[in-house]
């Protein structure tokens, strides 16, 4: 368990991906930069 931030980034990626497909009010949808970064990384 050397790099906790790697796991955190991976978790955020999963969350943002889930939110892209299942948008709910009050979620990461208020952070378009995060979603845009995830979209570029996963859906290029």
Q: Tell me if 35 sits within 8 A of 20, measured CB to CB.
A: yes
Examine the pLDDT at 42 and tell me if it is beyond 50. yes
Question: Which pLDDT score is estimated for 37?
Answer: 64
| pTM across the whole model | 0.29
Q: What is the pLDDT of residues 2-26, one digit of tens each?
A: 677 777 778 877 777 766 655 555 5
Domain boundaries, the chain: 4-42
**In 3D, which of 28, 7, 33 has the Cα closest to residue 17?**
28
Query: What pLDDT does 15 receive?
Result: 74
Listed as own residue / partner, the contacts of 15-23 with beta carbons closer than 8 Å and 24 or more positions apart are 17/42
Dihedral sign, CA of 12, 17, 20, 21? negative
């Amino acid at each position: 368990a050397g790099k906790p931030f790697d796991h955190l980034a991976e978790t955020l990626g999963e969350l943002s991906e889930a939110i892209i497909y299942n948008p709910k009010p009050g979620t990461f949808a208020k952070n378009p930069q995060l979603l845009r970064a995830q979209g570029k990384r996963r859906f290029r």
